[in-house]
Amino acid sequence: MAVRRFLRHKLAIAGVVVLLLVVLATVCAPLLTGHDPLKVDLSQVRQPPSGEHLLGTDGSGRDVFARLLYAGRVSLLVGVFSALLAVVIGSVLGAVAGILGGWVDALIMRAADVFLSFPVLVVMIVIAGILGPSITTMVIAIGLFTWPRAGRVVRGVTLSLREREYVQAAQAFGARTGWLVVHHVLPAVLGSVVVVATIAVADGILIEASLSFLGLGVQPPQPSWGNMLTDAQRLTVISQMPWLWIPPGVAVAVTVLSVNFVGDGLRDALDPRESS
Amino acid sequence: MGAYLVRRVLVSVLVLVLVSIGIFWLFRLAPGDPVEMMLPPQNRGPGSEAFIAAKRAELGLDEPVWVQYFTWLGNAVTGDLGYSLDTGRSVSDLLGERVGPTVYLMGLSLLLALVIAVPLGLLAAVRKGRFADYAASVVSLGAVCTPPFFLGILGIYVFSLKLGLLPSAGMSTPGQYSVGDSLSHLLMPLVILAFSQSGQFTRYVRSSVIAELHADYVRTAEAKGVSATGVVTRHVLRNALIPVITIVALSLPNVLAGAVVIETVFAWPGMGQLAIASFQGRDYPVIIGFALFFSIMVLLSNLIADLLYTLVDPRVSLR
């Protein structure tokens, strides 16, 4: 049933296809290009696209197509891991808040409001400015400051579960909180959590792009979609070398859009009550 | 109302104290000892150990951590945020002169974003499931999914470099001030920041209007013979915009984060550009000043959102 609802969603199908292509292209990067994304070749600096270099070369003579593919790995992984972290923290705290209620609930939800109101970008300016930028710091910061979305969803579902007879029966039999979470809460929230997680991946990729563009995230020479655009802060690069900055920009937009389409499709399929 | 307000302000102050402890703790984690950094290695001699100890005592670095924290906090509260390592100027002065351009850019962008989002969201809600709805959702999804800095670079490529219509950097051309000149500098950063914010707002307006369209009073008004346009503009929109006001206030920190990126792309002399420059130069006092300023702004906008919500909607009761 859920699968059929998802398949009815044309944009979601398109999203899945595009995403599969993007993931395949990044995973199979060594098969698609013979160039090393890190290899500097000063005799081939800033070459326009050609048969040898499909998307030309950058300021250090590195192949842009190879960099684009390997950058995709980094950007996608940052998106996935930061989303995982956010969903794990959010699910645990959301479930605890929903089950225990009272002041624990109030405290967790208050904290959720506070965390959500600090944009990751600004947090990272401070953290990276003081401790120095790194991928790990970035993933942790994204996870730590985006968990409230998942937390709110899980709390909402948990609260409604508390009223259900089968949960009250389990509680009456003396089931412990941990048992309740594993056997009743998790299965019930799974659908909504998958939807939230999908959107979190899209957000993670976008945040990575902005952070790395500003030098706060993935550091060169390691390529990411965001830091490949850093060069495009110079007017000569923008005007004369569009092959350097159009591909990574389009890659981010297309990937994030596809992930969002998939998220919408999943919402309709798994969580029909939530669909608008 | 009074008790509610006092409690909310107290909670905000508590959060601000926690945030300041967090910032202070981060600062302590920073690599390198501030006194060691003052003394270049080539100038070290037999006496430097004693000098370092004396300097540490002078700066209060030999005190317990909590004493250092309260000294720092006391200074920060009185507006003494230290001096930039880079320019030697006072951090509060540096921040002060950057607030204007950022508020100018942010305020106008928010306004423009609403001018785009309210009609678009309303149209999408009223025409739910039809072409206009899909068109609006494609536009707003595009706004949410395209990195604003990429739009900025595209804009510079097309309008500044290819067509030569708009300037690519700054707030005005040095030496030739005119209204037209500053408007042409403002246009691209303004439109791009507004567009990237409008996506989220459009979605809120749409879902908020859809929720209100099902309310009982709508059926009453329709039964009384109020025209469809009249129902929407005079009844639905007014109620639907209440949650949107809150969202706008809550999104202020995000707009500022967006401004950081846009200011960098367009060399707009605001807080964001200062923050990125101080990050690049590891100018700790400026970074910390920016962090404190930003935290206060976040908590204030949360407070404003709460207050607006209760002021605008008489159905919300205050506890």
Q: Per-residue pLDDT tens for A3-31?
A: 777 777 788 899 999 999 999 999 988 88
Q: pLDDT value at position B43?
A: 67
The predicted pLDDT at position B202 comes to 92
Contact at CB, A130 and B210, closer than 8 angstroms: no
A122–B287 C-beta distance less than 8 A: no
Indicate which of B140, B153, B271 best probes the interface with A, i.e. most A CBs within 10 Å of its own CB. B153
Question: What is the arithmetic mean of pLDDT over A49-73?
Answer: 86
User: Given an 8 Å threshold on Cβ–Cβ distance, is A245 in contact with B29?
Assistant: no
List of chain A residues whose C-beta atoms are within 8 Å of the C-beta of residue B257 = 119-122
List the end-to-end C-alpha distance of chain B, in Å, as a whole number.
8
Residues lower than pLDDT 70 in chain B: 1, 31-44, 313-319
pLDDT at A63: 87
Considering only the beta carbons, identify the residue of A131, A132, A213 that sits closest to B149.
Answer: A213
pLDDT number for residue B7: 85
Which residue, among A130, A132, A31, A138, has the nearest Cα to A78 in the 3D structure? A138
* Nearest residue of A to residue B251, measured between CA atoms: A117
Q: What is the pLDDT of residue A276?
A: 41
Query: By the CB < 8 Å criterion, does A210 face chain B?
Result: yes
Q: Do A121 and B261 touch (CB under 8 A)?
A: yes
The candidate with the shortest Cα–Cα distance to A150, out of A82, A80, A85, A87, is A87
Count Cβ atoms within 10 A of the Cβ of residue B191 and give its class: 0-12 exposed, 13-18 middle, 19 or more buried: middle
Q: Using CA atoms, how far apart are residues B51 and B44, in angstroms rounded to an integer? A: 10
Phi-psi region of A205 (alpha: psi -120 to 50; beta: other; left: phi over 0): alpha
Nearest CB partner across the interface for B279, out of A216, A229, A233: A216
* A181-226 per-position pLDDT tens digit: 788 888 888 888 999 999 999 999 999 999 999 999 999 889 999 9
Expressed in angstroms, the distance from the first to the final Cα of chain A is 19
* Chain A (167-206) residues lying within 8 Å, Cβ to Cβ, of chain B: 202, 206
Q: Is A176 exposed, middle or buried (0-12, 13-18, 19+ CB in 10 A)?
A: exposed
CA distances from B244 to A115, B134, B213, B238, B308 (A): 21, 21, 15, 10, 11
Instruction: Name every chain A residue with its beta carbon within 8 A of the beta carbon of B15.
Output: 114
Q: Which residues contact A70 (CB under 8 A, 6 or more apart)?
A: A26, A29, A37, A223
Is the model's pLDDT at A38 over the cut of 50?
yes
Q: Is A127 at the interface with chain B, CB within 8 A?
A: yes
Chain A residues in contact with B157 (beta carbon < 8 A): 238-239, 242
CA distance A188 to chain B (A): 25
Q: Does A256 touch chain B (CB under 8 A)?
A: yes
Which of A56, A60, A70 lies closest to A40, judged by CA? Answer: A60
Report the predicted TM-score, pTM, of the whole model to 2 decimal places. Answer: 0.88
Split at pLDDT 50, 70, 90, the class of A256 is very high
Predicted confidence at residue A275, as pLDDT, reads: 45
Best mutation site among B150, B160, B309 for testing chain A: the one with the most A CBs within 10 Å?
Answer: B150
Domains in chain B, please, with CATH?
1-78 (no CATH), 98-317 (1.10.3720.10)
B-chain residues within 8 Å CB-CB of A256?
145-146
Nearest CA in chain A to B254: A119
Q: Output A56-59 pairs: Cβ under 8 A, ≥24 positions apart.
A: A56/A241, A56/A243, A56/A244, A58/A228, A58/A231, A58/A244, A59/A231, A59/A237
pLDDT tens per residue across span A141-159: 999 999 999 999 999 888 8
Taking the Cβ of residue A276 and every Cβ of chain B, the question of whether any pair is shorter than 8 Å is answered with yes
Q: What is the pLDDT of residues A92-136, one digit of tens each?
A: 999 889 888 889 999 999 899 889 888 999 999 888 888 889 999
CB contact under 8 A, A132 and B31: yes
The predicted pLDDT at position A79 comes to 95
Nearest to A257 among B141, B264, B295 (CB): B141
Q: Cβ contact (<8 Å) for B260 and A209?
A: no
Q: Which of B146, B149, B279 comes nearest A128 by C-beta?
A: B279
Considering only the beta carbons, identify the residue of B146, B149, B162 that sits closest to A229: B149
pLDDT category of residue A166 using cuts at 50, 70 and 90: confident
pLDDT over 70 at A273, yes or no:
no
Token pair recorded at residue B302: 């949360």
Residues of B in Cβ contact (< 8 Å) with A216: 279
Cβ distance B192 to B151 under 8 Å?
yes
Nearest residue of chain B to residue A201 (CA atoms) = B145
A214 neighbourhood in chain B, CB within 8 Å: 260-261, 264, 276, 279
